């Protein structure tokens, strides 16, 4: 799942490569294209994008938003969820499997949307308020103060890892970076929010910001303009089951399966009831 660091770097690349370009053709590739596309504007998905100039590329939480210079305004809000990816490719470049949307740009490149499991969504809309899961989003990790972070945590009573991944608490953090942030904060992922002391909440807040800021830089270096990649080798614990903890050398523990795995170091992240073990 692309999370804040990947999406932020993708936004930067689109800002450089796609903004100011005209979409000379837009194609929803069947059978997946019509499934991931949602035309909330009733504008006709492909027809409305054809000829439109890309005015800006923004990120909010786990959404990327392309705005077009059209009258009335038109936005494409992309929520890649677990399996969606974007790709910038030459027009003649072989199409990867599960490519569902192709925007032909006037510089000969294509912006493509790929999605192995059709979990993501592409919303064409006049207003972001109409986009599901968008308007209820909490603040960005870099925009929230420690005070507001504490305040926003209060209503949540469950395990801290689950809380961190709730978009209505803070936007942009998913399963992978929640593991990384908790490792940096030395907090066990299954500690209950109600058990966290004030100093631990502050540690969590600082770890959230430093972990995500570092990750943006690393992703930027490794991804470059290959925005379909998801560089994560540099992570400390997520997907590192059995490897030595970079801080203390203890083999990294694993709980859960598939997309919902949790990795942590049981030495430097003590406590918590370990479910599933
Ligand atoms: Zn450790």
**CA quadruple 38, 138, 135, 85: dihedral, nearest 10:** -10
Nearest in space to 268 (alpha carbons), one of 159, 177, 199, 179:
179
CA of 206 to the centre of ligand 1 (A): 18
**Contact (Cβ atoms closer than 8 angstroms) between residue 121 and residue 62:** no
Query: What are the Cα distances from residue 209, in Å, to 139, 184, 274?
Result: 13, 10, 26
Residues in the chain: 277
Query: What tens digit of pLDDT does each residue of 134-167 get?
Result: 999 999 999 999 999 999 999 999 999 999 999 9
pLDDT for residue 271 is more than 70: yes
Range scoring the smallest mean pLDDT among 36-45, 205-214, 267-276: 267-276
With bands split at pLDDT 50, 70 and 90, how would you rate the model's confidence at 274?
Answer: low
With bands split at pLDDT 50, 70 and 90, how would you rate the model's confidence at 277?
Answer: very low
CA of 221 to the centre of ligand 1 (A): 26
CA of 214 to the centre of ligand 1 (A): 19
Give the residue-averaged pLDDT of 54-69. Answer: 98
Give the residue-averaged pLDDT of 24-38. Answer: 97
CA of 183 to the centre of ligand 1 (A): 8
pLDDT of residue 199: 98
pLDDT of residue 165: 96
pLDDT of residue 185: 98
Structure-block tokens of residue 43: 């504008």
Mean pLDDT, the chain, rounded, equals 95
Known catalytic residues are 2-3, 62, 260
CA of 264 to the centre of ligand 1 (A): 8
CA of 250 to the centre of ligand 1 (A): 5
pLDDT for residue 117 is more than 50: yes
CA of 17 to the centre of ligand 1 (A): 41
Output the pTM of the full model. 0.94
Query: What tens digit of pLDDT does each residue of 5-22 get?
Result: 999 999 999 999 999 999
Give the residue-averaged pLDDT of 172-183. Answer: 97
CA of 276 to the centre of ligand 1 (A): 21
DSSP class of residue 73?
Answer: -
pLDDT for residue 259 is more than 90: no
Structure-block tokens of residue 117: 């499991």
Give the residue-averaged pLDDT of 65-76. Answer: 95
């Amino acid at each position: 799942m692309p999370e804040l660091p990947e999406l932020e770097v993708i936004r930067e690349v689109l800002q450089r490569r796609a903004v100011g370009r005209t979409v000379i053709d837009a194609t929803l590739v069947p059978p997946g294209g019509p499934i991931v596309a949602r035309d909330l504007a009733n504008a006709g998905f492909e027809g409305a994008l054809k000829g439109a100039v890309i005015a800006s590329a923004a990120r909010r939480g786990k959404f990327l938003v392309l705005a077009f210079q059209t009258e009335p305004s038109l936005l494409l809000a992309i929520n890649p969820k677990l399996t969606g990816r974007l790709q910038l490719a030459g027009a003649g470049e072989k199409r990867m499997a599960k490519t569902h949307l192709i925007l032909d740009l006037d510089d000969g490149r294509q912006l493509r949307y790929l999605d192995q499991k059709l979990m993501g969504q592409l919303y064409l809309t006049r207003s972001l308020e109409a986009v599901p899961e968008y308007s209820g989003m909490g603040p960005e990790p870099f925009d929230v103060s420690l005070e507001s972070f504490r305040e926003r945590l209060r209503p949540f009573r469950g395990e801290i890892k689950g809380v961190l991944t709730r978009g209505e608490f803070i936007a942009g953090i998913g399963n992978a970076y929640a593991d990384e942030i908790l490792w940096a904060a030395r907090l066990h992922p299954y500690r209950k929010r109600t058990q966290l002391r004030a100093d631990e909440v502050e540690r969590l807040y600082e770890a959230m910001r430093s972990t995500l800021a570092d990750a943006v830089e690393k992703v930027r270096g490794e991804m470059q303009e290959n925005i379909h990649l998801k560089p994560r080798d540099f992570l400390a614990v997520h997907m590192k089951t059995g490897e030595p903890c970079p801080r203390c050398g203890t083999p990294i523990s694993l709980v859960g399966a598939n997309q919902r795995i949790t990795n942590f170091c049981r030495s430097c992240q003590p406590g918590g009831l370990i479910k599933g073990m």
